[in-house]
Structure 1
Amino acid sequence: MTLVVGLGNIGKEYELTRHNVGFMFLDLLLKELDTVKITNKKFKGELYKYGSSLLLLKPHTFMNLSGESVSAVKNFYSCTRLIVIHDDIDLKLGTVRFKKGGSAGGHNGLKSIDSYCSNDYERIRIGIGKDEKVKDFVLSKFTQTELELLNPILLHCKKALFALLQGDINEISSKFSLRA
């Protein structure tokens, strides 16, 4: 079983914010895929099943506690593969990178997942850019111009995810990485 996690924060005030790009990605997938919603309070999030071996999770623990939700689902379903889609301030908007393992790079959602599940998982890193006031910046909404740039990036990431599910992170990285 493979668990795909899109990181973000719950609540109207966080919709379309830079930190919610993982949620935005999963929302795109959920509109297009014929999924079954799984309800279990232990999972602390929205969980969907696609086909026989793919789970899609939007943790509802807020970003800094994402690992609680991820580990609950991962352990319950004995998931052998974890893929996390998240924002990355060290990458310009328009940049997409792929990585397995390594540092959380200051991302509190990843730090939480690392503490519960280890850091040995695949990542789709979507660049959002950076500002001096990091906390305010990641919690601010994308502008309309940025959203117009982001939508094709999310569609590109969808293709990359489905290729990744069938392939290897290094192969996918060389084929699907984008530079702003």
Structure 2
Amino acid sequence: MIIIAGLGNPGPKYENNRHNIGFMAADEIARRWRFGPERAKFQSVIREGEVETASGAVRVLLMKPQTYMNESGRAVGETARFYKVRPESVIVFHDEIDLAPGRFRMKTGGGAAGQNGVRSLISHLGADFRRGRMGVGHPGEAHLVMPHVLGDFHKAEKPWLDALLRAVADALPFALAGDDERYQGEVMRLAPAPKYSPRQQARGGE
């Protein structure tokens, strides 16, 4: 089994926030691969399903922790312990301010880089889980980071956002087969990121 966790904050107030791109990715994966219905378990909204890979079907538990972002590790850690899933079989999708909007990177291990959900996961799982880092850009100044990530995506961002979410779901068999490098490449092939630097948003997109 593979556990896939999308990170975000629960409730309609946060639904369209940049910080909730992980929830959006989880929803798109569930839609694309026709996962079962949502239910409440492990302090999360979970769905179960199977995804066909080149070497056969892989069972996936998809979860959206309802603990709020900063406590995501409690829910994911509980789930991993229950199913005896090792960290390398946990894939976490989250927003990444140090990547330009629409960029995507897979990474295993390392630090939290200021992402509080990832920090919580490290404290409950150790560092060796896999991260699908989804770029939302940096506002340019440290004091603007919180309103940036807790702000909604602009209408102008919808084309790259929708393309990235579809690509993350469509290419998922590569990640489930353990080929993160191929997965990253395929996501970026299907959804090339817009051509601007991570900090241009703060300068009005010049």
Report the TM-score, using the length of structure 2 for normalisation.
0.81
Asked if 1:47 corresponds to 2:58, the answer is no
Q: Distance in 2 between matches of 1:140 and 1:38?
A: 26
Structure 2 SS opposite 1:120: coil
Q: Give the conservation status (yes or no) of the 8 Å contact 1:160–1:172.
A: yes
Name the CA shift for 1:24/1:38 in 2 (closer, same or farther; >3 Å): closer
Could you say which residue in structure 1 is the equivalent of 2:198?
Answer: none
Q: Distance in 2 between matches of 1:170 and 1:104?
A: 20
1:175 positional shift: 4.4
Cα displacement string for residues 89-144 of structure 1 (whole angstroms, at most 9, x for unaligned residues): 00110211111111111100000000000010111111000112101110000011
Cα displacement string for residues 15-38 of structure 1 (whole angstroms, at most 9, x for unaligned residues): 111000000111112223332347
Q: Give the conservation status (yes or no) of the 8 Å contact 1:37–1:46.
A: no
User: Equivalent of 1:135, from 138, 146, 154?
Assistant: 146
Cα displacement string for residues 33-84 of structure 1 (whole angstroms, at most 9, x for unaligned residues): 332347455x000111113621000000000000000011111111231000
Could you say which residue in structure 1 is the equivalent of 2:94?
Answer: 86
Could you say which residue in structure 1 is the equivalent of 2:114?
Answer: 106
Q: Give the conservation status (yes or no) of the 8 Å contact 1:100–1:169.
A: no
Kindly, what percent of the aligned residue pairs are identical?
36
Could you say which residue in structure 1 is the equivalent of 2:77?
Answer: 71
Question: Aligned letter for 2:103?
Answer: T
Asked if 1:62 corresponds to 2:68, the answer is yes
Q: Which moved more, 1:158-167 or 1:64-73?
A: 158-167
Question: Aligned letter for 1:143?
Answer: H
What are structure 2's unaligned runs of at least 5 residues?
Answer: 51-57, 195-206
Asked if 1:162 corresponds to 2:162, the answer is no
Name the CA shift for 1:28/1:40 in 2 (closer, same or farther; >3 Å): closer
CA-based RMSD of the aligned residues comes to 1.7
Q: Distance in 2 between matches of 1:66 and 1:7?
A: 7
What are structure 1's unaligned runs of at least 5 residues?
Answer: none
Q: What is the count of residue pairs matched by the alignment?
A: 179
State which structure, 1 or 2, has the greater radius of gyration over its C-alpha atoms.
2
Structure 2 SS opposite 1:112: helix
